[in-house]
Structure formats: C-alpha cells, structure tokens
Structure 1
Amino acid sequence: MNKQINHIVILGGGSSGWMTAALLCRLYKQGLKITLIESAEIGTIGVGEATIPPLKIFNDVLGINEQDFIAKTKATIKLGIQFENWGQQGDAYMHAFGELGKNIGYCPFHHYWLASKPTNSDSLWQYSFNYQAAVNNKFAPLTRIHNDQLAGITHAYHFDAGLYAKLLHEYSADKGVVRVEGKVNQVELTQDGAIDSLVLDSGQTIAGDLFIDCSGFNALLIDKALHVGYESYQQWLVCDSAWAVPCEKVDPIVPYTRSIAHDFGWQWRIPLQHRTGNGIVFSSQYVSDEVAKQTLLQNLDAKPLAEPKLLKFVPGRRKQQWYKNCIAIGLASGFLEPLESTSLHLVQTAIIRLTKLMPNLGISDSLVDEYNRQSQIEFEQIRDFIILHYYLNKKSHLNSNANLNVHPKNTVVELSEAASLWHYCEHMDIPPSLKQKIALFKQTGNLHRFQEELFTEEAWLQVMIGQGLMPEDHNPLADTISDTDREEFLSNLKAIYQHYLTQLPEHGAFLRVNQ
C-alpha cells in the first residue's frame, strides 16, 4: 500500500477505543479525520479498573488534570498490589511501585540489604516508601524526599473504566472525533486483502485508510475479517475464565489492589470511591464455573451490586497485531490476565507505538514488521512476569501427591482432575527467557532489565523475594564498606522513611480534597 493516511476508523468504544481516539486527536491536530464506531447495545468488558503508573503520563499528555480525573472517574490512589497466599498459605507481600532504598555507585540497593544477612524482622519492604504509605493508608503527591536525595511516592489509580471512557469520549468529541452509532454488518476488502470499508447494520458505509480494531474479544476486523493467527500462552497461563462483580464500598479505602490466591486461581479487590471492583480468575480445568462464582460471592467485603459477569478467554496474542491496514488494540490484540494490571497499559503503549511509526507516505512492510516486532517483545516480557508469580508459588500442601501430567511445550494443557493448578505451575517448563532471569537472580542476586521492558528491577525483586526466592550470593561491591557503615546506612534509610510517613495525610483525606 502507498495511500497516505487521511482517515482513521476505530471500531469499538470502551477504554481502548476512546483512549486511542483521544491520543490521536491530541497529537494530530490538523488534517486527520477520526471516526469511531460503537454500539450502545454492545457492552464493554469493564473489569480493568486498576492501572500502573504510566497512565498518569498518558493523562498528562492529554492535558487532563489529575483532580478532574479523580473526581470524574471516582478514582482512588494505587501504590502497589498486595499478593496474599501466593507463596504458602498465609503469606503476603506487596509489589509496591517506585524505588527501594538508594543505590550506591554502580551497586543496586538490594545487594547491600542482602549483604546484611537480613532476618525476618528486617524486611525488604522497610525500604519502600510506597509500601509504608500503602499499608498505613496514607498518600500525598510527593516525588522526592530528604532534600531530593530519595525517591518519594510513585502512584497509579483505581477507577471506573466506564466513567473513564465517558471522559475520553467528551474529550475526543470536543477535538473533532466523530462517533457513529451502529454495528458492523459486513467488512469489504480490497483486491490485495486490505480493508476498504465497513458496512453498518443501518446500511451506512464507512471507508477509511487505516482501521483500528478495538472490538474486544470479538476481534471483528483482525480475526473475523482478516483471519490473523493467534499464539496461545495457555501452556503457562492455565487460567481461562473470570467472574467479575462490583460490591458496595468498604471504609477505609486502601490505596492498593489485593490479589488473593485460591485453590484454583486468584481473586482481585479494587477499591473505588463509590464501590469495590471484585473478580476471580480461575482455570475451568480445576473448578466449575458455579463453584468459582460462589467462592467469589462468599469472599466479598460487602453486598454485591449486580449479578456476576462471566468471561472466557485464551491467554495469548495475535501473531500480527498490525496486518495490512488494520491494527488491533486492546482485547482484540490479545489477552494477559489482569494480575499486574497491564491491560490498559498495553492499550496505551500500542497507541504510542502507532504514533511513533505513523505512516506519512503510506504503509510499508518494514513499518508493519517493526510494529509487530515491538508488540511481540512487549507481550512476551509481560507474559514472563505474570508466569513468575505462578511458577514461584509454594503451595505444595495442595494435592501434593496428585497425579501430575507432564505436557510438552506449545500444547494445550489437559490436566487430571486430581492435579493441583499450583502443583502444575510450580513444575511446568517455563519460557527460556524467564528461566534465565530466575537462574541469574538465584545464583548472583543480579537482575537485568531489557531495553524498554515495562517492569523494573524493583518489581522483579519484590515478587522473587516475596515468594521465597532468595539469592545465593550478592555483588561484592556491597562488601566494600564495613558492616557497621552498612548497618548505619540501612538504619538511616528506615528512619527517614518513617519520618516522612508521619507527615503524609490519610488516603481518604486526599480523596475528599480531590472529589
């Protein structure tokens, strides 16, 4: 193709569709027509109500004021994710955002902590300001502390995804994006297999130069019309179902997400200003839909506000997320379970990737190949981080003598009813990229972040340590200071964090000011 991009057609609304429309109309102010097609009859998934810190940058680029965002989406602050029962039953740790301690020279902080031969009373999380604020239910926007020598608080949000889509709809409409109500009845293709136009059930035909598929799991363009293949990750991510249900809010509203492991999956709790979002992700090979539903309902903090909604999915990604003149964004591009709240982030990075590679003189093979190469790497890196949680579980008390079937790589998992989900995950053959990362940390305490990888060394560190993987060695640079100096350094850090913690307001007080 060599046609210039003058008209972009987005199929589907919700968070992914309106995030795409909003950023494109913000960055391309003149000469680009954007049309978004959605149907009020088609509901959105709407379970992704927890985010990670980069969403703040997205809102900043759009020029959306944080106070307005919090008020209009009923948002609360998120400082991390607390994982409960992911190691052994009764264990709990947090993947807290932000930095841990302070690096000295070329040596990361955690090596000094390891060199001190920490005991249970000297937790790694004593050196996370985010964690200390989260568990004490405090927050204030504070980027640096201690005369700018230490990182302050890094935050994300919990929010109502429907209200966020509404906010972005209003934002986009104000900048000229045209919304068309309707369902796609037919996709008309060109002779070379690209999309020419969409025919709606009303009979209206909408032609375009670039089509963005935000139609969710239906993937009406990238899959149903263009038949792009799908790569499944189900040999590693066995969960294939989820129930989602809101319940009444519970005070106090804590500034973190909870992820609670059950025998057959895990449950989320996401506190908003007006309600709590709840769900349970599970493997249908180990439990019936009904038992999973009842488990969720029995573990709510308050009265449910609706009937639970059942979702079925296959973890994985489209083999080509950009094909011809069609780009899949959001659930149409693939799905990774919401364990680390990455769904909206994948939407965000897909749009940003498009803007960086936006064709001017037409769509070229090299441009499409680069987009797909970057997308694949991103999915695989996030995939590995999610697998890490399952693989490092220590729930061997569950059916430890079960008959565990061994499955070859790249096959659909078929497990005996007696086998434990957690037993299988603990013994499965993980991707080589993850295997190498775990081995490096276990042997040396070192962590390596690949270029532009989403999750930081601190994120990998917290999950590994939190689920019981302690390295056998540490960097010798941590031994170049005396034991006395090292202990004083660690003690001072803890004291500084506790000092600034006392100055933070309650999370609830912050929300009241920003409502």
Structure 2
Amino acid sequence: MSTAQARGADHFVIVGGGTAGWMAAACLARLLLRTPGPQKVSLVESEDIPTIGVGEATVPSIQDMLRYLNIDEADFVDATDATYKLAIRFRDWSGPGSDFFHGFGELGPTIDNLPLFQHWLREKIAGAPVPPLSDLSMSAQLALHNRFAKPTTNGNSPLYMAGYAYHFDAGKVAQYLRGYAEAKGVRRIEGRIIEVTQDDQGDIAGLRLADGREIAGDFFIDCSGFAGLLIGKTLGSDYEDWSHWLPCDRAVAMPTQGLRPIAPYTLVTARAAGWTWRIPLLSRLGNGYVYASRFCDDETARQTLTDAVDSAPVAEPRLLRFTPGRRRHPWLRNCLSLGLASGFLEPLESTSIHLIFANLFRFFDYFPRTVDCATLSQGFNARSVREIEEIRDFLILHYKASPRRDTDFWRYVTGMDIPDSLSAKSEVFRQQGKLFADYYDFFKPASWMAIYDGLGVVPDAADPLAALVPQDKARAILRDVTEGIRQAALTAPTHEAALSALLRRAL
C-alpha cells in the first residue's frame, strides 16, 4: 500500500481494560482528544473477563505518567489506596538472616566524575572499614526508619539524591483511569469479541462482538492480557519464552489485614522455590508467592504463603500462571501490544506498570500518520525490545549472583547459563568494578551496585578512576555524606504523617 493510498490512523481501538487498557485510553485521550478533530478512541472490554489486577508496586517513573495526565497526587493516592514506596527490601537472598535495600535514587553524589559509591567500593576492596552501602542511599535510610520526604531540587541537600514511587490497588487504578479517559471522550464498548477481521493486506480491520455488533478501526492496541488476541492469535507475533533464565512461572496472591506502621517499601523474601512479596496499601497488605512450578507444587506454594503472612487474610488465595518472555514484534502492522499481551517479567523489581507507559510514550515518539508504518514500527520494536531485555538481565542477576545453594531451585538459578549481555556486564564488574549502563538503560549503575553488594559480590579491583582521587578526600566526603543522610532521615516525618499531610486527614 502506497503512502498516498494508506488509510489514516484516526480511530484507535483498545482491546481489553484493566491497568494497561485504561492507561492507554487515558494517555491517548490526553494526546488526541484535546481539541476537536477526526481522532476517536474506543475501548472494548467484557465484564465477564476478569483482570489480573492485584496490589501493585511501582518505580519512580510512574510520576511521569501522573504529570503527563495532570493528575493531582493527593486525589490519586486517595482514590487508589496508595502509599509511598522508597525502596525494595530483600531478605534472605544471600541466605537466612541476610537483609539489604535497593533504594530509589542515587548512592551519594558524583565526586570528580565518578559516583561516590565507587570510592566506597575502593575502600571496601582494600579492606578498610566502610559503612553499609545503604548508608549512601537517602531513600534506603528513610525506608529503614519508616519515614518519608520528597526529593528536593536543592543540590546541597541529601534529599536531592532520593526517589520515590507508589504502592496501590491495581483495580482501583484502572477504575480511576477509566473515569479520566471517559471524561476526556473515550468511548467504552461492553462486549465479548468472537472474531477479529483483517483486510486484504493483512491489517486488522475490525472486531465482531458476540451480540453481532461490528467495531471498525484504523489502529488497534492489544491489552487483552496473556491471550494476545490481536498481536498473537490474529497477527501471529511469536512469543519468546525466557523460562530458562527466569524459571518462576506461577504466583499465588492473597490480601491480608493492614499493619501499622505502614512501611514505605516493598518487602521481598527469598523462599525455597522463589520469593514472597509484601506490599503495604492504606487499607490492607498485598501478599504473594512467586515460584517455579518445576520445583514447587501449587498446594505447597499456598501453604508457604499462608505461613509467611503477618496478618489475617481478607480473601482466598488466587493462583496466577504466566510465561516470562516477550513478543518478538510488540508492534506489528496496525497493532501495538501493551502489558501482558506484549510480554511479562516477574514483579521482582516492580517494572510491569513502567513497561506499559514506557511503551506508550515510546509509541508517541513513533506516532503514525497512517496505518502503513513499517519503518516506524521497526524503530519502536528495536527500542522496546532493548529495554525489556535490559530489565530481564537485571532480574536474572538477582538469582545468578546469589550465594544460596540450599534447594534445587537455588542450585538451578545460580548454575544456569545466562545471556551474553549479562555475562559481559558481570565480567567487567568482577574484574574492575565498572558498571555499564547507558542513556537508554532503565536501571542505572546505582541499582546494579545495590544488588551486587547485597548478594555479596565484591570485584577483584576498583574502577581505576577511583585511584585518581586522594583517599583522604574520598573518605572525608564519604563520612560527611553518610552523616548528612542519617540526619536527614531521622528528622523527616514518619511515612504515615506524610500520607496524612498529603490527604489532609488522619489515617
């Protein structure tokens, strides 16, 4: 089809609701429906098809979406049962009793073009006494003391190095975004899809519903979950299975009564065949066990979760099945896949929501004028695949670098082959303490450092640039920064006080 003949991309049809579908609807409405024009956005979903939605933890980039949609934080937090999140706390990942934080933000300032944590690492390799790495993280120290303060633009304050995200109820987020999208002009269509029709070129032409209605569109967004109704079943984009590297393929989830104080971090605890999560919301706790079915049966998993929770259940456990991996072509012809239809990575680092709106914003960079857009889709796919593979490697590191060998699961993940991309990064870190990350990488060097150190990985030598700074200078800065962070953490309000101030009511 030539450009002159190509059909315009005016009517966008989203298939599936849930977090992915309504996030797409809200963002498209913000982009396309601000002024009168030919553009239309419709969303087709069936109340008979349940969504996956459980309690969700996010990463700081969630704020990009709230800013884009001009959403008031207090209104969002109140409507979605949300709390603040400063870090992930890892327990037992290096063995029983081990405990470390992966805090958001930086691990100290930059000293002569090198992050402070590299000077800390130089001291540790030399055998000098050093504080725990988490003492360099403003967010980790706030989390440790159950306190909260927002980052500041003042570069002289330790809070300049902090970062935060949210925990929230995914079902309530979908409802909130639905209200936003419909208010902006998105049309919701209730119905069960029984057929997807294609035109002579193979593009998707429309949907046929069970009641006989036909929904035509120009561009389609597949948010149908693991079913991949459009991108997979209709257009045939294969799914690349990553179970070899990420063997966890099931989860059992169960909400329980809330506990006080409300922790401003996600707790993940290593278990015999995977790990459990605890996500604190305003009204309850979200709990779950992510595990590998080849090493653990479902009943054992349920019992493990039941034994792990710290408060009374408020609902029965739910079993979820998934295959880690990605679509080979997340954008194919006139169809973009988002959320579970595009790929799945276990929620160990809370990246699921991020990947939805990251791909939405990336799609806006490549936004098509017509449905004849193969060059645009190729560029999008290359960047999308690069990001999910980088996140995949970061997750694999949590398993591969662990010193645990106490169960069949841990012996497998610590002994498995890993992608060449991760091998290269691991080798250069072990040899000379360098952490490779570039502009497009989602996880920056501070994140990689937190996981390496938390799992007990110490390189053979420090980054050679660290030797260019006199040790006395580096030690003095290290001492001053850690003390400044400690004082700022201890003087910050409690997490619950910060939430009360935001919502202007007692919790």
- Which band: TM-score by shorter chain? over 0.9
* Mapped contact 2:258–2:284 kept (Cα < 8 A): yes
Q: Distance in 2 between matches of 1:382 and 1:149?
A: 28
Report SS of the residue matched to 1:451. Answer: coil
Q: Does 1:310 pair with 2:319?
A: yes
* Mapped contact 1:13–1:165 kept (Cα < 8 A): yes
Unaligned runs of 5+ in 2: none
**Offset at residue 147 of structure 1 (A):** 3.2
Unaligned runs of 5+ in 1: 400-419
Kindly provide the amino acid, as one letter, of the partner of residue 80 in structure 1.
A
For 1:11, the equivalent position in structure 2 comes to 15
Spell out the pairing of 1:95-244 with structure 2 (5 A cutoff): 95-117=102-124, 122-144=131-153, 147-148=156-157, 151-244=160-253
**Offset at residue 79 of structure 1 (A):** 0.4
With normalisation by structure 1, the TM-score equals 0.93
**Offset at residue 278 of structure 1 (A):** 0.7
For 1:377, the equivalent position in structure 2 comes to 386
Report SS of the residue matched to 2:63. Answer: helix
**Offset at residue 143 of structure 1 (A):** 2.0
> Per-residue CA shift, 1:195-236, capped at 9, x if unaligned?
111011121110000011101111111122222211000111
**Offset at residue 104 of structure 1 (A):** 1.1
Q: Distance in 2 between matches of 1:65 and 1:150?
A: 22
**Offset at residue 492 of structure 1 (A):** 0.7
Spell out the pairing of 1:284-323 with structure 2 (5 A cutoff): 284-323=293-332
Kindly provide the amino acid, as one letter, of the partner of residue 174 in structure 2.
A
* Mapped contact 2:123–2:129 kept (Cα < 8 A): no
* Mapped contact 1:16–1:329 kept (Cα < 8 A): yes
For 1:412, the equivalent position in structure 2 comes to none
Q: Distance in 2 between matches of 1:494 and 1:215?
A: 47
* Mapped contact 1:126–1:494 kept (Cα < 8 A): yes
Please, what is the CA RMSD of the aligned residues?
Answer: 1.5
For 1:406, the equivalent position in structure 2 comes to none
Q: Distance in 2 between matches of 1:485 and 1:140?
A: 29
Q: Distance in 1 between matches of 2:155 and 2:335?
A: 50
Kindly provide the amino acid, as one letter, of the partner of residue 166 in structure 1.
Q
Q: Does 1:44 pair with 2:46?
A: no
Q: Does 1:74 pair with 2:81?
A: yes
Q: Distance in 1 between matches of 2:375 and 2:147?
A: 49
Kindly provide the amino acid, as one letter, of the partner of residue 147 in structure 2.
K
**Offset at residue 451 of structure 1 (A):** 3.1
> Per-residue CA shift, 1:41-63, capped at 9, x if unaligned?
21110135100000011101100
**Offset at residue 146 of structure 1 (A):** 6.4
For 1:458, the equivalent position in structure 2 comes to 446
- Correspondence for 1:364 among 359, 373, 394: 373
Kindly provide the amino acid, as one letter, of the partner of residue 184 in structure 2.
K
- Correspondence for 1:492 among 465, 468, 480: 480
Q: Distance in 2 between matches of 1:319 and 1:132?
A: 40
User: Number of paired residues?
Assistant: 494
For 1:403, the equivalent position in structure 2 comes to none
Q: Does 1:55 pair with 2:62?
A: yes
Q: Distance in 1 between matches of 2:274 and 2:463?
A: 36
- Correspondence for 1:275 among 284, 299, 303: 284
**Offset at residue 297 of structure 1 (A):** 1.0
**Offset at residue 144 of structure 1 (A):** 4.1
For 1:425, the equivalent position in structure 2 comes to 413
* Mapped contact 1:24–1:355 kept (Cα < 8 A): no
* Mapped contact 2:240–2:327 kept (Cα < 8 A): yes
Moved more, 169-178 or 24-33: 24-33
Q: Distance in 2 between matches of 1:43 and 1:331?
A: 14
Q: Distance in 2 between matches of 1:132 and 1:302?
A: 26
For 1:395, the equivalent position in structure 2 comes to 404
Q: Which runs of 4+ in 1 moved over 6 A?
A: none
For 2:501, the equivalent position in structure 1 comes to 513
* Mapped contact 1:116–1:486 kept (Cα < 8 A): no
Kindly provide the amino acid, as one letter, of the partner of residue 36 in structure 1.
L
Q: Distance in 2 between matches of 1:58 and 1:189?
A: 33
Q: Distance in 2 between matches of 1:266 and 1:387?
A: 14
Report SS of the residue matched to 1:151. Answer: helix
**Offset at residue 145 of structure 1 (A):** 5.1
**Offset at residue 119 of structure 1 (A):** 5.9
> Per-residue CA shift, 1:393-438, capped at 9, x if unaligned?
1112x14xxxxxxxxxxxxxxxxxxxx1111111111000000001
* Mapped contact 1:48–1:344 kept (Cα < 8 A): no
Report SS of the residue matched to 2:441. Answer: coil
Q: Distance in 1 between matches of 2:341 and 2:478?
A: 47
